[in-house]
Amino acid sequence: MPHAFDRRLAEGPLLCDGAMGTLLYSRGVAVDACFDLLNLNNPALVQSIHADYIAAGADAIETNTFGANRFKLGAYSLEQQVREINRRAVRLARDVRESMGRDVLVLGAIGPLGKYLAPLGTLTHKEARDAFHEQAEALLEGGVDAFILETFPGLTELRLAIEVVRAITDLPIIAQMAFTDEALTYTGRTPAEVAAALAKLSVQAIGANCSVGSSVLYEVLEQMQHEARGLALSIQPNAGLPTRIGERLIYLSSPPYMADWAARMVGAGARILGGCCGTTPAHIAAMREALGRKASPERRPSRPVVSVRTREPLEAPVGEKPPPPTVLQHKLAAGEFVVTVELDPPRGHTVDKLVHGAKLLGERGVEIVDINDGSLGRVRMAVLPTALLVREATGLDVSMHFTCRDRNLMGIQAELLAAHALGIRNILAMTGDPPRAGDYANATAVFDVDGVGMIEIIRRMNEGADATGNSIGGPTHFHVGAALNPAAEDVDREIERLRRKVAAGARWLQTQPVYDLELLERFLARAGDVPAPIIVGVLPLHSSRHAEFLHNEVPGITIPDQVRARLREAGDGALRAGIAMAQELVHQIRPRYAGAYLMPSFGRFEVVAEVLDALR
């Protein structure tokens, strides 16, 4: 027996409603509020919007649940109310429909989870499926007529959502992706590729919504049509691109403009129409009028010529030769013992002290320095300009630490491209310390991806593409390393992450400070074969107090009892004892590992210089 959605669609094009968030904002709801929570604490406001769209002529309304999954609700500490919020949203929409006496379809809205899937992000496919299942099941219990999966940036996540919904119900599914103004998805797929992939899944309609306006989505529609294989096509554009006026975002596409495009879209094969961000009941009313008219052949809207976009090739420009290996890359490949020293960017705006220390180290034979990136959640000079200034002043090879905390996915890639253009090619990819660990506990952390995801991004750049598969004009030549913590509390998790880092493309591993090589060797024995050279961290201890602080208060550092006891017994000679122990450790590292990574505490470069004397 066909569902109500199928019967209605067979009768003619379906007109959906428009934006929910735009109207909530215009009616006094703060832009950073949880719109989904309004289903519980301000149901009358949500219902008034549903009623306005029904009055405007909509054939279908979407539940106010676009962000009602455990991850997005978790940002408001509402992850335990997923089921309640979704069930209530359906009831609100159904009650409005009944009160207005119109046979309007109620579509259960599901949006993306708001987190990146592995391998770029940390969200596993199982976690994603569980979240989609929780939301879809609640919408189904509420009594939706169909599901609309909308504004998805990538095919993988949308495919997971479709599979989850289809596993629990045979209700119709509308599957929609978001496209950029270049008529590509945010993961670099063309409309034809999207349509071909979705047409193989168990859905009733496919299409696009949000992000851009009518003209671009018309182009998307035309390209999808050739691969849709008889599926209904659904298009729900924004009211153009927003412009900021004062403190408000204003969408400029007028109701008549969008209505004209709606008629064109029906002529081009669209069966489901509606609006997304910026659209209002006035836009839907204008679309209703346009779709209700029967255009005569001589007045039917013309179809503009559309050029099909294809992705640019990823090959390197003809004649471009890869640069010579970095000093670090050459030494690791040749099996030479590597010595690198960590430098913290200054807390001010001058690098004079840092350059002086780097030159001192260079005189002791150091050829490579590591430039830290925002360690311990404290504000310091940005890592890239620090690395450039130190290299320019000293001529040393630079390994640049790079963290995910302060940059979103676009910012990470932009800065990596800049680093490569400026000749910085050794990158130690790290997740980074959270702000709460430092001076700015209320600062916002990004963490779009973690260290594993960043290595994956760099691997793709080295193949000539960005994270979404779009060409960057030729491959980069980064030499990427990864951090390793052999003293991690959860050893199994650290081993699993180690394997993922190497699989993603890490070419060397650099450990946290180690004070007992037996601990490192036990870790590696448990991990099994590690196909990457290891540079062991060495942080000279200055006093008993220094050792106790690191052992008890700094995550990732474990100092054995005998080491701390030796410093206590040394008394005023603790610094000499700390240097001697670091020298002993370097002697043990040299025949067994690829290198040593020395870390000067308190800016005491002369201490590290003394440790280096052990290598002469």
Give the mean model confidence (pLDDT) for residues 549-572.
89
Two tokens, residue 461: 């750049």
Q: What are the distances in angstroms from CA 229 to CA 188, 232, 233, 244, 474?
A: 22, 9, 10, 41, 36
339-610 shares the fold of 4-299? yes
Non-local (6+) Cβ contacts of 190 within 8 A are 183, 184, 223, 308, 309, 310, 311
CA 232 to chain centre: 31
For residue 603, the model assigns a pLDDT of 83
Two tokens, residue 27: 């009616």
Give the mean model confidence (pLDDT) for residues 584-591.
95
For residue 305, the model assigns a pLDDT of 33
**Does residue 29 carry a pLDDT above 60?**
yes
Q: CA 151 to CA 165: how far, in whole Å?
A: 16
Two tokens, residue 438: 């430092």
Q: What is the pTM of this model?
A: 0.77
Structural contact between residues 159 and 196, judged by C-beta atoms closer than 8 angstroms:
no
For residue 552, the model assigns a pLDDT of 86
Q: What are the distances in angstroms from CA 548 to CA 530, 553, 557, 558, 565?
A: 31, 8, 10, 10, 10
Weakest mean pLDDT among 21-30, 126-135, 415-424: 21-30
For residue 300, the model assigns a pLDDT of 35
Confidence of residue 314 (pLDDT cuts 50, 70, 90): very low
For residue 312, the model assigns a pLDDT of 43
Give the mean model confidence (pLDDT) for residues 320-336.
92
Structural contact between residues 607 and 600, judged by C-beta atoms closer than 8 angstroms:
yes
Weakest mean pLDDT among 234-248, 457-471, 518-532: 234-248
**Does residue 317 carry a pLDDT above 60?**
no
Q: Which residue has the higher pLDDT, 533 or 243?
A: 533
Q: Which residue has the higher pLDDT, 14 or 119?
A: 14
**Does residue 171 carry a pLDDT above 80?**
yes
Q: What confidence tens digit (pLDDT) does each residue in 429-452 have?
A: 998 877 654 555 567 778 888 899
Give the mean model confidence (pLDDT) for residues 5-18.
95
Give the mean model confidence (pLDDT) for residues 137-161.
97
For residue 303, the model assigns a pLDDT of 33
For residue 555, the model assigns a pLDDT of 74
Domain 4-299 coded CATH 3.20.20.330 = yes
Domain residue spans of the chain: 4-299, 339-610
**Does residue 315 carry a pLDDT above 50?**
no
Confidence of residue 247 (pLDDT cuts 50, 70, 90): low
Q: CA 384 to CA 195: how far, in whole Å?
A: 41
Q: Which residue has the higher pLDDT, 505 or 240?
A: 505
For residue 321, the model assigns a pLDDT of 79
For residue 119, the model assigns a pLDDT of 87
Tell me the H-state helices in 512-560: 517-527, 544-553
Neighbours of 135 (CB within 10 A): 28
Q: Give the 3-state secondary structure of residue 510.
A: strand
Q: What is the DSSP letter of 465?
A: B
For residue 280, the model assigns a pLDDT of 96
Q: CA 373 to CA 263: how far, in whole Å?
A: 54
For residue 301, the model assigns a pLDDT of 36
CATH topology of domain 339-610: TIM Barrel (3.20.20)
For residue 205, the model assigns a pLDDT of 98
Q: CA 153 to CA 202: how far, in whole Å?
A: 19
Q: Check the CA dihedral 569-575-579-585 and report its sign.
A: positive
The chain-wide mean pLDDT, for the chain, equals: 90
Q: Are β-strands 534-538 and 508-513 bridged in parallel, bridged antiparallel, or unpaired? A: parallel
For residue 405, the model assigns a pLDDT of 84
For residue 310, the model assigns a pLDDT of 38
Q: CA 300 to CA 295: how far, in whole Å?
A: 5
Instruction: Give 256-274 as a DSSP string.
Output: HHHHHHHHHHHHTTEEEE-
For residue 613, the model assigns a pLDDT of 82
**Does residue 376 carry a pLDDT above 80?**
no
Weakest mean pLDDT among 116-130, 341-355, 548-562, 565-579: 548-562
Confidence of residue 122 (pLDDT cuts 50, 70, 90): confident
For residue 41, the model assigns a pLDDT of 96
Q: What confidence tens digit (pLDDT) does each residue in 273-313 have?
A: 999 999 999 999 999 999 985 333 333 333 333 333 334 43
For residue 307, the model assigns a pLDDT of 35
Structural contact between residues 233 and 206, judged by C-beta atoms closer than 8 angstroms:
yes
Structural contact between residues 223 and 305, judged by C-beta atoms closer than 8 angstroms:
no
Q: What confidence tens digit (pLDDT) does each residue in 457-485 have?
A: 999 999 999 987 788 999 999 999 999 99
Q: Which residue has the higher pLDDT, 197 or 294?
A: 197
Per cent of the chain over pLDDT 90 is: 77
**Does residue 233 carry a pLDDT above 90?**
yes
For residue 10, the model assigns a pLDDT of 92
**Does residue 222 carry a pLDDT above 60?**
yes
Weakest mean pLDDT among 70-84, 547-561, 592-606: 547-561
